[in-house]
Amino acid sequence: MKLANRVDQVKPSVTLAISAKAKAMKAEGIDVCSFSAGEPDFDTPAHIKAAAQKALDEGKTKYGPAAGEPKLREVIAHKLKRDLNLDYKSENVIVTNGGKHSLFNLMMALIEPGDEVIIPAPYWVSYPEMVTIAGGTPVIVTTDASTGYKITAEQLRQSITPKTKLFVLNSPSNPTGMVYSPGEIEALAKVIVEADILVVSDEIYEKLLYDGAKHISIGSLGTEIFSRTIISNGFAKGYSMTGWRLGYLAGPVDLIKATSNIQSHSTSNVCTFAQYGAIAALEGSQDCVEEMRQAFAKRREVMFARINSIPGLSCEKPDGAFYLFPSISETGLKSLEFCSKLLEEYQVASIPGTAFGADNNIRFSYATDMTTIEKGMDRLEKFVRLAVSS
């Protein structure tokens, strides 16, 4: 069969082989410690599930408006004002099938052949692929531990060409967990305004912050940057709702209308009764978010201390999300080899940094219980000690 050319341009996920292997080992009854999860390990809070159940019982089971239930769009606009001081109305918001779908819709509405999109590495796996599917050119800017894996304003400035359309900002970051400081965000905003490009701010981890770190939304820094900002967010990470498939995009009305048009011909509206769960998530008590955050905070301390005590690994202390991203360069192994051996010989699953454009690092998720963390870190330590000494 002759498939469309665009299929050849999308890379198969390098993480797939590892996760398939880990699953197969588990199925065989092998005791695998898994740190590969990209999702919270908690159940969705009860009041959110109850709201969706109620909507289901009330017959909210039909097609709805493609851009989302009017009430949910309104509640999201209100949240963006309340939490982040962003002036949006319902018409500036589209409800999507997850944060991933928000970004995909955005690329389809905005990017065309010839357009360049600046993506700092380490990056979330899907950003470059989405740009490619839309026919654009991802421009990868490599960052390292010296800047906390964050792109500097100067690096951004130097990467901009007349073809640059969009810059992708992700803070807190997946895979590094790093959070941009207010000063760093301000410096990036200045470059964006001066060059008159757009920025999409992926804020899916905005609620998962530690050690007093604050989340600043780049669009809140003034009218000039606000008009060039698009916000992408979702319910998956903060409310432990990954399987619900609920996200949103906020931005200028013409863009939101365009994404809504695209959505109306692809997925139509997000599952109607699920949207009532999202309303409850935003309108209800935020204590559930804080409880999960505190559990993550404890695990982060334990895992960070353990990883950094292992000779051969070095790790920055990230202030957000639920990942640690240690460097493995002293082990002499590349990330895929490191992860494969760690899984095969020590039954520990992690994600090779090469998936995120960083071959000298490994991503460990601490969205798992403390017992697994202790056991998995013991095994990791044995593995690295042997790898370094041999």
Q: Quick one: how far is CA 386 from the chain centroid?
A: 33
The nearest distance, CB 322 to ligand PLP, in angstroms, is 10
By CB under 6 A, residue 204 contacts ligand PLP? yes
* Three-state SS at 238: coil
Q: Which of 98, 138, 238, 326 binds ligand PLP (CB under 6 A)?
A: 98
Q: Rounded distance, CA 64 to CA 230, Å?
A: 24
* Three-state SS at 250: strand
Q: Rounded distance, CA 269 to CA 275, Å?
A: 10
- For residues 308 and 103, the answer to whether their CB atoms sit within 8 Å is no
Q: What are phi and psi of 254, to 5 degrees?
A: -60, -40
Residues between 276 and 335 that touch ligand PLP (CB under 6 A): none
174 vs 372, beta carbon nearer ligand PLP: 174
The nearest distance, CB 38 to ligand PLP, in angstroms, is 6
The nearest distance, CB 39 to ligand PLP, in angstroms, is 7
170 vs 331, beta carbon nearer ligand PLP: 170
* Three-state SS at 122: coil
- For residues 320 and 297, the answer to whether their CB atoms sit within 8 Å is no
Query: 335-352 burial string, b = 16+ CB within 10 Å, else e?
Result: bbbbbeebbeebbbbbbb
User: Any idea what DSSP says for residue 44?
Assistant: P
Alpha helices per DSSP H over 111-249 = 126-133, 153-159, 182-195, 223-226
* Number of Cβ within a 10 Å radius of residue 266: 13
279 vs 310, beta carbon nearer ligand PLP: 279
The nearest distance, CB 103 to ligand PLP, in angstroms, is 7
Stretch that binds ligand PLP, among 49-57, 96-104, 282-290, 329-337 (CB under 6 A): 96-104
Q: Which of 40, 45, 64, 99 binds ligand PLP (CB under 6 A)?
A: 99
* Three-state SS at 63: coil
By CB under 6 A, residue 275 contacts ligand PLP? no
Best CA proximity match to 326, nearest among 180, 122, 39, 128 = 122
Q: Quick one: how far is CA 235 from the chain centroid?
A: 11
By CB under 6 A, residue 124 contacts ligand PLP? yes
Residues between 126 and 185 that touch ligand PLP (CB under 6 A): 170, 174
Residues between 211 and 250 that touch ligand PLP (CB under 6 A): 234, 236-237, 242, 247
Helices then strands, counting H and E runs in the chain, come out as 14, 12
Stretch that binds ligand PLP, among 93-101, 147-155, 220-228, 354-362 (CB under 6 A): 93-101
Integer-rounded Cα radius of gyration of the chain: 21
The nearest distance, CB 313 to ligand PLP, in angstroms, is 23
Stretch that binds ligand PLP, among 56-64, 97-105, 294-302, 378-386 (CB under 6 A): 97-105
Q: Rounded distance, CA 109 to CA 47, Å?
A: 35
Site string for ligand PLP, 29-68 (x = CB under 6 A): ---------x------------------------------
- Edge-first strand listing for the sheet containing 351-352: 323-324, 362-365, 351-352
The nearest distance, CB 165 to ligand PLP, in angstroms, is 19
The residue of the chain with the least Cβ separation from ligand PLP equals: 98
Q: Which of 202, 206, 316, 381 binds ligand PLP (CB under 6 A)?
A: 202
Q: How many amino acids of this chain bind ligand PLP (CB under 6 A)?
A: 14
The nearest distance, CB 310 to ligand PLP, in angstroms, is 26
The nearest distance, CB 203 to ligand PLP, in angstroms, is 9
245 vs 306, beta carbon nearer ligand PLP: 245
Q: Which spans of this chain sit near ligand PLP (rule: CB under 6 A)?
A: 38, 98-100, 124, 170, 174, 202, 204, 234, 236-237, 242, 247
